[in-house]
Structure 1
Amino acid sequence: MPELHVGERHWSVPTGTNLLDALNQAGVAVPYSCRAGSCHACLVRCQGEVDDQQPEALSPTQRQQGWRLACQCRVVGDLQVEAFDPLHDGVAAQVVGADWLSSTVLCLRLLPERSLRYRAGQHLVLWAGQVARPYSLASLPQEDAYLEFHIDCRQPGEFSDAARHFKVGEPLRLGELRGGALHYDPDWQSRPLWLLAAGTGLGPLWGILREALRQDHQGAIRVIHLAHDAEAHYLAEPLAALATQHGNLTVELWTAAELNQALAQLRLVSRQTLALLCGHPVSVEAFSKRLFLAGLPRNQLLADVFLPRG
């Protein structure tokens, strides 16, 4: 059987064992979130042979340096593994704001020790000690001097539980910057743009909305936010303010109880419409199905899902 080596430890595992499972079951604390190769929280450096199920998830430079996503690798030979060390491999940052946008959504603002080049719609892995979690950026690099994240604290979780107690000045570490499916393309300027978010999926779309307005988007922009109840529309006032300032922007606030009826009434005004979706997989799937039934071409829909841990 292949042997895994981590520091001074080594042990045998059956051929084909998932690398993330093999590490965590042996007490090597490798964080993870999605187990789908999307969040990159389980990044490890490998020397040896693995069967990588998703090699395209990392850049050629990263792969050449030995980085792999543990959740996507199966052990097929002896392997030396080095876990991602946020103190060595990450970027230092400190908390400059931790304010509640609602009773369950925390607005976390971080100032990195060096500026990061990013665009609206990307996400970062945040490290609090040895607890890591990927979060989408809600900030806009051209307008904000900080990195902003909207953290859903409605359900318990290692990172969100820690985030409840963050204080200004507290140090954190930043992991890998990732580009998801969501972005704004200047070539879209004259086309209708729909931004459909569920819960804190509004965070990255908030950044993309502001980017579209910054670039003077000329087409109609429709923002739909789905929340559990009316109190959970945590950006209702800022969205309303933007709608007042921009005549081409409309905002709709849906609750879970209204979802089916609202979806049934959803109609496309143009087959040139572009739709950007973000949130829990169930909500994104519901939005997607209705848009396809309404006639939206599949290549005009971009979606990023917030996958639950496990």
Structure 2
Amino acid sequence: MPELSAGGRHWTVAPGSNLLDALRDGGVAVPYSCRAGSCHACLVRCLRGEPDDAQPEALDAARRENGWRLACQCRVVDDLEVEVFDPLRDGLPANVAEVGWLSPTVLRLRVHPQKPLAYRAGQHLVLWTATGVARPYSLASLPGEDPWLEFHLDCRQPGAFSDAARALRPGDALRLGELRGGALHYDPDWQERPLCLMAAGTGLAPLWGVLREALRQDHRGPIRLIHLAHDAAEHYLAEPLTTLARQHPTVQAELIVPAELPAVLAGFRLVSRQTVALLCGHPDRVETFARRLYLAGLPRNQMLADVFLPRVG
């Protein structure tokens, strides 16, 4: 039976045990969210031994070389000693700059890192509270223009981080975990091509950054943005989107609710087969968007998607 060691504890586990489950069963508080290797909240570093990693490509070469692994994607096959990601030791310190409601259920969190953070529009970070609660969120801010890192938190359902965020005040300490690329970005080579941005809920956050990045780089093709919200009150960026569309004739912003979605999708037509589509939101919504775009004639390799996986467990 393999022996697992962490935090000064040692115990045996069944061969092939999921590392995240084994650690938590052994009383080690490892945060997690998606269990799919996407959020990176469950980072651990191997100090001795090597687990069976089902998704080695999820981490960059430098991280892997330093022993980091995603606990949710690993199985214990031999004796293994790990240390859990410690936000106080391994994270970037930051402070809350501003917190406030954009809609009845969307909380805007603006954060000042204590050291400069190089990022691009569309990326995402794991945020840590002072008490060690972690959750990944997409960046809505525009690098080089916004003086803060901005996140849009969906607070419709209870959640450890969103519940804690409601109590945050300016000046409160946070820690920033790993910055991840994500699929969503703006490529200058797209300047002449039509863009189709489709978001559900707070999937709008990274696309808001990407849209402004495209305009900052003088994108010349038409841009169509569709935001699907639970109801009209949840179009939390309606005013800035309307203003942006008024200032840029190439931008079209459509704010819809679920009852309107079938008609909008049925009437969807491609401006050009050179269109690039960026999709973000709940997996079911993203798949609905992608399926309609495919039926309209857009190849799958011209669709970039980031899904917001619900917390598991």
Shorter-chain TM band: over 0.9
1:276-291 matched pairs, under 5 angstroms:
276-291=278-293
Q: How much does 1:160 deviate?
A: 0.2
Task: Specify the alignment match of 2:18 in structure 1.
Answer: 18
Task: Specify the alignment match of 2:295 in structure 1.
Answer: 293
Which letter does structure 2 place at the counterpart of 1:190?
A: E
Task: Specify the alignment match of 1:212 in structure 2.
Answer: 214
Task: Specify the alignment match of 1:79 in structure 2.
Answer: 80
Q: Is the 8 A contact 2:7 2:28 kept in 1?
A: no
CA distance in 2 between counterparts of 1:70 and 1:156 reads: 24
CA distance in 2 between counterparts of 1:7 and 1:90 reads: 18
Q: How much does 1:81 deviate?
A: 1.0
Are 2:286 and 1:261 aligned? no
Which letter does structure 2 place at the counterpart of 1:233?
A: H
Q: How much does 1:99 deviate?
A: 1.2
Task: Specify the alignment match of 1:56 in structure 2.
Answer: 57
Q: Secondary structure at the match of 1:49?
A: coil
1:122-201 matched pairs, under 5 angstroms:
122-128=123-129, 129-201=131-203
- Percent identity reads 72
Task: Specify the alignment match of 2:273 in structure 1.
Answer: 271
Q: TM-score, normalised by structure 1?
A: 0.99
> Runs ≥4 in structure 1, deviation > 3 angstroms?
none
Deviation string 1:99-155 (CA, Å, 9 cap, x unpaired) is 111111011000000010000010000001211000000001121111000001111
Deviation string 1:277-302 (CA, Å, 9 cap, x unpaired) is 00000100100110001110111000
CA distance in 2 between counterparts of 1:7 and 1:157 reads: 26
Which letter does structure 1 place at the counterpart of 2:254?
A: E
Q: Is the 8 A contact 2:273 2:297 kept in 1?
A: yes
Q: Secondary structure at the match of 2:49?
A: strand
CA distance in 1 between counterparts of 2:271 and 2:63 reads: 43
Q: Secondary structure at the match of 2:31?
A: coil
Q: TM-score, normalised by structure 2?
A: 0.98
Larger CA deviation: 44-53 vs 132-141? 44-53
Which letter does structure 2 place at the counterpart of 1:185?
A: D
CA distance in 1 between counterparts of 2:28 and 2:284 reads: 32
Deviation string 1:215-235 (CA, Å, 9 cap, x unpaired) is 000000000000001111000
Which letter does structure 1 place at the counterpart of 2:209?
A: G
CA distance in 1 between counterparts of 2:66 and 2:144 reads: 32
Task: Specify the alignment match of 1:3 in structure 2.
Answer: 3
1:246 equivalent among 241, 245, 248: 248
Q: How much does 1:7 deviate?
A: 2.5
Q: Secondary structure at the match of 1:177?
A: strand
Which letter does structure 1 place at the counterpart of 2:112?
A: L
Q: Secondary structure at the match of 2:17?
A: coil
Deviation string 1:46-99 (CA, Å, 9 cap, x unpaired) is 121211001111111111111000001011100001000000000100000001
Across the aligned residues of Structure 1 and Structure 2, the Cα RMSD in angstroms comes to 0.7
Q: How much does 1:8 deviate?
A: 1.9
Task: Specify the alignment match of 1:97 in structure 2.
Answer: 98
CA distance in 2 between counterparts of 1:227 and 1:89 reads: 36
Q: How much does 1:267 deviate?
A: 1.2
Which letter does structure 1 place at the counterpart of 2:105?
A: T
CA distance in 1 between counterparts of 2:182 and 2:139 reads: 11
Task: Specify the alignment match of 1:28 in structure 2.
Answer: 28
Q: How much does 1:309 deviate?
A: 0.7
Which letter does structure 1 place at the counterpart of 2:307?
A: V
CA distance in 2 between counterparts of 1:284 and 1:158 reads: 25
